[in-house]
Amino acid sequence: MKRFIIAILLVAVLLAATACSKKARTLYVFNWSDYIDPELVTQFEKEHNCKVKIPTYDSNENMFAKIESTRESFDIAVPSGDHVTLLAQKGYLEPLDKTKLTHWGNLDPKLLEKAKSFDPGNQYAVPYFWGLTGLLYNKKNVPEEVLKSGSWAILGDKHFSGKQKISMLEDAREVVGAALVYKGYNINDSSPEALKAASEALAIWDQNVSQYDSESYKNEVADGTTWLGQAYNGDALQQMELNKDLGFLLPVEGTSLWMDSMVILKSSQNKDLAYDFINYMLESETAKTNADYVKYATPNAEATKLLDPAFTGNPLIYPSAEYLDKCYMIEFLGDKVKAINDLFEQIRMN
């Protein structure tokens, strides 16, 4: 009888341990803020009996520094293209096993081809969203005559002189890139000539800039603390949906074009769960819901078919081919990026 009772107790302990083990699974998705529909996360947690934690970052540089220096083990990260290259070169990424991604075929082949510019052979990265950078403004504080040029030159307009009511992103590639494009250069040009021209524009713009921050503009342009801010298009459209006084423009000279991707880190402690999460995000209905929430263009071709024509027809999300011809994908520059970073720090610290 004792043996029987002991056997029952052992089975109970094993079952409890198994239950606890399943209960304890936690997936860490290192992501940009406001970049996933929280209801989708909740649904995934229910379906997979797990917890999903989403620590956030506000720039690729901060994301990379945290991955490189922390002892925390993130499972998934969502870097932009040039930082996919950097993470891969540093050996931080797990090569994709596409047999575990049954919805891979939902991705647009044309965008997968573009992704090969930063991820040859689509070896590490699963395209998540793509977008552009422009200017978010408050109509109460910025009159139409200031905006009519539609140019990056608005950042230096005398309307803002002495007021410091402009913010720009805390991102060297975006800030210096905007000045490069404004001056007629490729956003990836790090030559002395190009950076000298960019520095001239930045010196003027900086007089009107109160801060370089990739988060605060989302609320501060809305409440009038800041009148105009360099902004990612999806973030701007999220805010515009909440506040009719906000507007957004893509500068006439062109702008940065970026693609963010989901990658699995080699240090992940939950690789199978990471694959489940990415595959879930690739489902057409899930990707459609997520695009509706974040207001960015989805690389998921099947999800695009499900989106409202008002969404896919919005030129602030899906610009014309003519405008896209004036936009530049931010590329990995290796050591050449130091000159761009140095210029950004010089301007920011003035």
**Whether residues 208 and 341 fall in one domain:** yes
Q: What is the CATH number of the domain that holds 228?
A: 3.40.190.10
- Give Dmax (Cα) for the chain: 91
Give domain status of residue 12, yes or no.
no
- pLDDT-derived band of residue 101, with 50, 70 and 90 as boundaries? very high
**Whether residues 247 and 338 fall in one domain:** yes
The pLDDT value given to residue 264: 98
Q: What is the pLDDT of residues 14-44, one digit of tens each?
A: 555 454 445 559 999 999 999 999 999 999 9
Give domain status of residue 52, yes or no.
yes
Give domain status of residue 2, yes or no.
no
- pLDDT-derived band of residue 89, with 50, 70 and 90 as boundaries? very high
Averaged pLDDT for residues 185-211: 97
Averaged pLDDT for residues 62-81: 90
- pLDDT-derived band of residue 2, with 50, 70 and 90 as boundaries? very low
Look up the domain containing 271 and give its range: 25-129+259-317
Averaged pLDDT for residues 68-84: 90
Give domain status of residue 76, yes or no.
yes
Give domain status of residue 217, yes or no.
yes
Location of structure tokens 């409890």: 16
**Whether residues 198 and 329 fall in one domain:** yes
**Whether residues 90 and 52 fall in one domain:** yes
**Whether residues 233 and 287 fall in one domain:** no
**Whether residues 37 and 57 fall in one domain:** yes
Give domain status of residue 331, yes or no.
yes
Please check whether residue 287 is in contact with residue 305, taking contact to mean a CB–CB distance below 8 angstroms.
no
**Whether residues 110 and 222 fall in one domain:** no
Q: Which one, of 251, 223, 200, 237, lies nearest residue 317 by Cα?
A: 237
137 burial class (0-12, 13-18, 19+ CB within 10 angstroms)? Answer: buried
- pLDDT-derived band of residue 7, with 50, 70 and 90 as boundaries? very low
Please check whether residue 268 is in contact with residue 73, taking contact to mean a CB–CB distance below 8 angstroms.
yes
**Whether residues 165 and 115 fall in one domain:** no
Q: What is the pLDDT of residues 173-192, one digit of tens each?
A: 999 999 999 999 999 999 99
**Whether residues 264 and 249 fall in one domain:** no
The pLDDT value given to residue 10: 52
Q: Which residues of 231-244 are buried (b: 16+ CB within 10 A; e: fewer)?
A: bbbbbbbbbbeeee
How many domains would you assign to the chain? 2
**Whether residues 162 and 218 fall in one domain:** yes
**Whether residues 119 and 263 fall in one domain:** yes
The pLDDT value given to residue 60: 93
Q: Which one, of 260, 268, 276, lies nearest residue 103 by Cα?
A: 276
pTM of the model: 0.87
**Whether residues 333 and 192 fall in one domain:** yes
Averaged pLDDT for residues 326-338: 93
The pLDDT value given to residue 73: 82
Give domain status of residue 19, yes or no.
no
The pLDDT value given to residue 216: 87
54 burial class (0-12, 13-18, 19+ CB within 10 angstroms)? Answer: middle
Give domain status of residue 106, yes or no.
yes
Q: Which one, of 162, 165, 176, lies nearest residue 345 by Cα?
A: 176
